[in-house]
A = this chain, B = another copy of it.
Amino acid sequence: MKDVAASAGVALKTVSRVVNGERGVNAVTAERVRSAIERLGYRRDESARGLRGGRTSSVGLVIEDVADPFYSGVSRAVEDVALGYGSLLLSGSSGEDPRRERELVLTFCSRRVDGLIIVPAGADHEYLRPELDAGTPAVFADRPGGLDADTVICDNAGGACAGVTHLLRYGHRRVAFIGDSASIFTAAERLRGYRRALAEAGLPADESLIATGPPERAGAALARMLTAQAPPTALFTGNGRVTLAVLRTGQRLPMVGFDDFELADLLVPGVSVVAQDPAGLGRTAAELLFRRIQGDPGPAEHVELPTRLIPRGSGELPPP
């Protein structure tokens, strides 16, 4: 910038004015500055600007894994919203590891992001207190965090309840539930929805038909249930990875899965699902964040997004 000023024969401030499109610069002078900028390949340093101005025009996003289609959908939506607000997105994958989540968030904070969107891997977010107090807003997405901040989650229990009720409507009385580890918020909520559906139908919950744990073990859990003396006639799976694991066993039980996935419609039969809206989740969280960044005070908001049941065949089969 100094070089540009020297080359154009003006003061630094004038270059600054031209770069920022401020008015009050003689057209001829401005042109001289612009040509110097062009000639020298000058580009404004955003970090220096942020240092002075207080705003970095960037937001941080912590998800579980970019390579997971659900989160990459979230990511894309956040990116689009950020773009609209002239902000850059820093993002990172926690891999469901609370330590890594914390590390990422703190890294973003060191970068002085204007705000944070976090899909919590851990339950404790006290480490965020200083930043929140310092005025950096944070939004928890997909799961609630350990702090009373803005939160956007899906109607996990309601969605699961609707999915299971759908199966019951076709005459099933023994519906199994295979879900992710119960320590994960969404998994626990979905299990709660399953129990509610049974209760509403006046059916007892048979614990031998409930399995929770890492998706890789879902296939084995299903096999165990099917060889027991009173096997299930239908299945509800608690997330996309569990659904895939079950499908890979080759067992084709009447079923509804939580989470939609590419090609669900091309399998035979098509896989009925309770679909979430990853883009909607990301967009909602991002819009909320930018409202906060722009100074919206008010108490923490808690948004719950609806799910949608998509019948494709596998969930519309009666018991044998």
- A-side residues, CB < 8 A to B, are 41, 43-48, 50-51, 56, 65-67, 69, 72-73, 75-76, 79, 88-93, 106-107, 109-112, 129-131, 133-134, 244, 247-248, 261-263, 265-268
Count copies of this chain in the complex. Answer: 2
Is B75 a contact of A67 with CB atoms below 8 Å? yes
> What 8 additional pairs, Cβ within 8 angstroms, besides A47-B50, A66-B72?
A41-B134, A43-B130, A45-B51, A46-B112, A67-B76, A69-B72, A90-B90, A262-B262
Q: How far is the CA of A103 from the CA of B91 in the complex (A)?
A: 19
Q: What are 11 pairs between A and B in contact, CB < 8 Å?
A: A43-B106, A43-B109, A45-B51, A46-B111, A47-B47, A66-B66, A66-B76, A67-B69, A69-B72, A76-B93, A268-B268
Chain B residues within 8 Å of A56, by CB:
47
Cβ 8 A contact of A110, one of B44, B73, B79, B133: B44
Tell me the complex Cα distance, A48–B317, Å: 62
Which residues of the other chain, B, contact A48 by a CB distance below 8 angstroms?
Answer: 47, 51
Q: Check B266–A248 contact: CB distance below 8 A.
A: yes
**Option from B89, B109, B131 in Cβ contact (under 8 Å) with A91:** B89
Shortest beta-carbon distance from A277 to chain B in Å:
13
Contact of A43 among B43, B89, B110, B133 (CB under 8 A): B110
List the B residue with the shortest CB-CB distance to A86: B107
Most buried by B among A47, A112, A244: A47
Q: Which residue of B lies closest to A80 (CB)?
A: B93
Q: Residue A47 contacts which of B66, B93, B112 (CB distance < 8 angstroms)?
A: B112
A79 touches B51 (CB 8 A): no
CA distance A262 to B259 in the complex (A): 15
For the complex formed, measure the closest distance between the CB of A177 and the CB atoms of chain B, giving whole angstroms.
Answer: 22
In the complex, the answer to whether A79 meets B92 with C-beta atoms within 8 Å is yes
